Amino acid sequence: MERAMPTAKRDGAVGTATDRKLRYEYVYDLVLAIMADRGLQPGDRLPSTTELAEIADVSSISVRRALDELERAGKITRRQGLGTFVAEPRIASDPTRPGELLHTLLDNDGGLPPVTTSLISIGVGLPSTTIATALGVDPGQPVWEIWRKRSIGSSDKILERAVLPLSRVPAIDQDRLANGESLYRFIDERYHLTDEYTEQAFEVDTPSSWEAEHLGVAPGDPIVRVRGVSFDAEGQAFDCFEQCYRATKFTFYTAGQTRHRILGPSELSNWSVAPLSNPSY
């Protein structure tokens, strides 16, 4: 037997609810209640804007604002000409877990999402003073700069940059990376470099136009930017990395404490690598 759709009149009147909260906030909560009461699953269609306005006894302007907020929160998706649908749940990630990115994604109801990797670019450059200090190298020493894009399922994407000193990683197998193989598995096998622990800084940011293009988001959309340093068992840094996540698609978990603290706010201001022209590497 199908459950009745929740209505404003069950709680008395919309006016009673809006005495305590704004109308769009009432609609926001109402949509979440409809999803819960009906047991709606990702991809299921929600009532139209007109239907929600009638149910809540509010204007369509209030409904549209509520839907805007729900979409920003990652609860719903809207498809032009088709309607409003329940969004896929956020992907759980623990970036503090050691190893390749796949190991940082948490098991969700017994299964991990499929991850595919595409290589964007490999270059050699000179690190900023910030990166050189984090890696324990001279600013004039060259580093690898490797950009890759991760697709999770069909659309969710992560941009990842690795900065590795040539003094510790003399060569990179570009063919292996182009085939989607793990960078960190390669440097473990070739150079016996494994991240014993990492230090990371999280920042809510907006993407550059280049990042927005690769992530498939608008330039003003929020992203979570993770910058970090990987240390080997001897406490020596060998990798500065940066990851850009679509903010509304992920939930982050973290635990524990690193042994170093080198990534304060002032150390995040210049996280750049100047490309070398005609590098002989």
Residues in the chain: 281
Structural domain spans, the chain: 8-86, 91-275
Output the pLDDT for position 43.
87
Chain-centroid distance, C-alpha 274: 25
How far is residue 239's CA from residue 242's CA, in Å, rounded to a whole number? 10
Question: Which band of pLDDT confidence, cut at 50, 70 and 90, is reported for residue 154?
Answer: low
* CATH code assigned to 8-86: 1.10.10.10
pLDDT averaged over every residue in the chain: 80
Question: Which band of pLDDT confidence, cut at 50, 70 and 90, is reported for residue 79?
Answer: confident
User: Which residue has better confidence, 191 or 150?
Assistant: 191
Are the CB atoms for 14 and 58 separated by under 8 Å?
A: yes
* CATH code assigned to 91-275: 3.40.1410.10
What tens digit of pLDDT does each residue of 208-231 get?
999 999 988 888 888 989 898 999
DSSP-assigned states of every residue in 229-250: EEE-TTS-EEEEEEEEEEGGGE
Q: Which of 79, 82, 59, 61 is nearest to 71 (CA)?
A: 79
Output the pLDDT for position 6.
46
Dihedral sign from CA coordinates of 110, 108, 154, 36: positive
Output the pLDDT for position 109.
54
Q: Give mean pLDDT, residues 71-95.
A: 78
User: Which residue has better confidence, 28 or 81?
Assistant: 28
Output the pLDDT for position 281.
58
Output the pLDDT for position 248.
74
What tens digit of pLDDT does each residue of 245-266 get?
887 777 666 655 555 555 554 5
Question: Which band of pLDDT confidence, cut at 50, 70 and 90, is reported for residue 115?
Answer: confident
Question: Which band of pLDDT confidence, cut at 50, 70 and 90, is reported for residue 167?
Answer: very high
Q: Is the pLDDT of residue 126 over 70?
A: yes
Q: Give mean pLDDT, residues 108-135.
A: 84
Single-letter code of the amino acid located at 80: Q
- Residue whose structure tokens are 């700069």: 145
